[in-house]
Amino acid sequence: MEAFTTHTGIGVPLRRSNVDTDQIIPAVYLKRVTRTGFEDGLFAAWRKDETFILNHPAYAAGSVLVAGADFGTGSSREHAVWALMNYGFRVVLSSRFADIFRGNSGKQGLLTAQVAQDDIELIWKYLENEPGSSVTVDLVSRTVTAGDIVAPFEVDDYTRWRLLEGLDDISLTLRHEQDVTDFEGRRPAYKPSTTVG
């Protein structure tokens, strides 16, 4: 995973709450067996509407998505994260993220920065008044800067550390392989096996 320290890019105000992962990428786009090429499916239904924010030339090259509350609800599909990243997004700002989506993002290096709804409203207004403006997201200081607005954001310490270092979870766990083996020696014998029965 690529390390993340700070990112500056065009902010995209997405004034929708409850953006579920079926909206981020509909199921028909989930058939690929790779991690790439999902940008075509990103917000597929909404992008057919010419007034949709990403169809506005000033926002089309956006990399910081500023969304309403409860972003990423529903299906566990990590394809939603791949679609956002394949398109070019590196950060999503929202006042609340769905748990599975946030976890998936952390594994892939997409920063989900939790910003108070009042600040989201201010950033929306700024980006709508000044289309194409940049937003800077600094993971070291945990702040978002958009014009004169400087807002703090929340991200848990462990995810922040992993993102800053660009660390891969599996390698981290395999450092403790002996603990796993020890645990396996203590599991009750009645626990089921998929291959017996």
Partner 1 sequence: MGVSRVRTSGDGAVSRAPESNAEEVGDVSGTLAEKVWESHVVRRAEGEPDLLYIDLHLIHEVTSPQAFDGLRLAGRKVRRPDLTLATEDHNVPTTPGPITDLVSRTQVETLRRNCEEFGVRLFPMGDAEQGIVHVVGPQRGLTQPGMTIVCGDSHTSTHGAFGALAFGIGTSEVEHVLATQTLPLKPFKTMAINVDGTLQPGVTAKDIVLAVIARIGTGGGQGYVLEYRGSAIRALSMEARMTVCNMSIEAGARAGMIAPDETTFDYLRGREHAPEGEQWDGAVQDWKLLRTDEDAVFDEEIHLDADTLTPFVTWGTNPAQGLPLGDSVPDPEALGDDNEKAAARHALEYMGLTAGTPLRDIRVDTVFVGSCTNGRIEDLRAAAGVVKGRQVAQGVRMLVVPGSARVRLQAEEEGLDEIFTAAGAEWRLPGCSMCLGMNPDQLAPGERSASTSNRNFEGRQGKGGRTHLVSPLVAAATALRGTLSSPADLADEGVDADVDAGVGASKERS
- Least separation in angstroms between residue 38's CB and partner 1 is 11
The length of the chain is 197
- Residues in contact with partner 1 by CB under 8 A are 15-18, 20, 22-23, 26-28, 30-35, 45, 68-70, 73-79, 81, 96-100, 103-104, 107-108, 156-158, 169-170, 172-174, 176-177, 179-180, 182-184, 186-197
Nearest distance from C-beta of residue 46 to partner 1, angstroms: 9
The Cα 10–Cα 31 span in angstroms is 30
49 versus 150: smaller Cβ distance to partner 1: 49
CA nearest to 81, candidates 124, 36, 31, 28? 36
> CA torsion angle for 149, 42, 113, 57 (degrees, to 10)?
-10
The CA distance from 48 to 19, in Å, is: 17
Cβ-based nearer residue to partner 1, 54 or 100: 100
Q: How far is the CB of 112 from partner 1 (least distance, A)?
A: 12
Identity of the residue, 23 or 63, whose beta carbon is nearer to partner 1 in the bound complex: 23
Environment class of 82 (CB within 10 Å of its CB; exposed 0-12, middle 13-18, buried 19+): buried
CA distance linking residue 9 with residue 27, whole number of Å: 29
Q: Which is nearer to partner 1, 7 or 107 (CB)?
A: 107
CB of 133 to partner 1, least distance (A): 23
